Homo-oligomer: A and B are copies of this chain.
Amino acid sequence: MIRNEMNQWKHLFKLDPEKPISDEALEAICMSGTDAVMIGGSTGITFENTVDLLSRVRRYTVPCVQEISDMESIVPGFDLYFIPVVMNSTDSKWITGLHQQAVKQYGHRIPWDQIVTEGYCILNPDCTAARITDSHTALDEKDVAAYAKLGEQMFHLPVIYLEYSGMFGDMDKVRSAAWSLESARLFYGGGISNLEQAQQALEYADTIVVGNVIYTNLPSALETVRAVQRV
């Protein structure tokens, strides 16, 4: 099933429902050879713009997952649902609070076998996600490794996600997290805007997530897929 396939994914494109994308660009993304398309974002996400984008991606066979940032925007029909748990947030709302409310509201209707909990560690202090979640981003390599290990060993999370949204990150920290993990998958996201950066991140991360460059330089975004075809 798709949940097991996820353990083979090395490249994801992350589409922001708030940002317009042409049919041609979307086709190029979906047919690029990426392992899956993730739909989500930090702000401006609604049920309407999410369901619209999902229906457009569904014309292609690529797996499509939702990364949930807001209960109101959950849309049925995705292959998997990724739930961020912001391990380095100072506000428990982003670790257990909103999640508890969602479980309370949706209860028995939650398809747990389609839920993938992601242990986020947000590392770019200037990104929207860091500001919203009031994350403690002044972390050294050992801190990042400890968060990764915590997520894997104490919370048994299947995915640890190093998020540098908006900037290309410190690969020493990615390596440090990678070396601390045994079985969880290490996702890296943030600032990958060309093939070389994709290759660098894949030296340590199991899976890279390519987002913003889709909207600023599509050919360069598409080229990042070659990083996983070579690996």
Q: Would you call A1 an interface residue if the criterion is a C-beta within 8 Å of the partner chain's C-beta atoms?
A: no
A146–B100 Cα gap in the complex (Å)?
A: 6
Q: Would you call A58 an interface residue if the criterion is a C-beta within 8 Å of the partner chain's C-beta atoms?
A: no
Write the A138-173 contact mask toward B (1 if CB under 8 angstroms, else 0).
000011011101100111110000000000000000
Chain copies in the assembly? 2
A143 cross-chain contacts in B, Cβ below 8 A: 100, 104
A86–B81 Cα gap in the complex (Å)?
A: 25
A154 cross-chain contacts in B, Cβ below 8 A: 83, 85, 99, 103, 115, 117
A147 cross-chain contacts in B, Cβ below 8 A: 96, 100, 103
Write the A33-67 contact mask toward B (1 if CB under 8 angstroms, else 0).
00000000000000000000000000000000000
Interface centre among A92, A146, A153, A155 (most CB of B within 10 A): A92
A92 cross-chain contacts in B, Cβ below 8 A: 89-92, 94-95
Contact A146 B107 (CB under 8 A): yes
A153–B117 Cα gap in the complex (Å)?
A: 9
Q: Would you call A87 an interface residue if the criterion is a C-beta within 8 Å of the partner chain's C-beta atoms?
A: yes
A85 cross-chain contacts in B, Cβ below 8 A: 154-155
Contact A100 B150 (CB under 8 A): yes
CB interface residues, A 96-149, toward B, < 8 Å: 96-97, 99-101, 103-104, 107, 110, 112, 115, 117, 142-143, 145-147, 149
Q: Which residues of A contact B (CB under 8 A)?
A: 83, 85, 87-92, 94-97, 99-101, 103-104, 107, 110, 112, 115, 117, 142-143, 145-147, 149-150, 153-157
Q: 16 pairs across A/B with beta carbons < 8 Å?
A: A85-B154, A87-B96, A90-B92, A91-B92, A92-B95, A96-B147, A101-B146, A103-B147, A104-B146, A107-B142, A107-B146, A110-B153, A112-B153, A115-B154, A117-B154, A155-B157
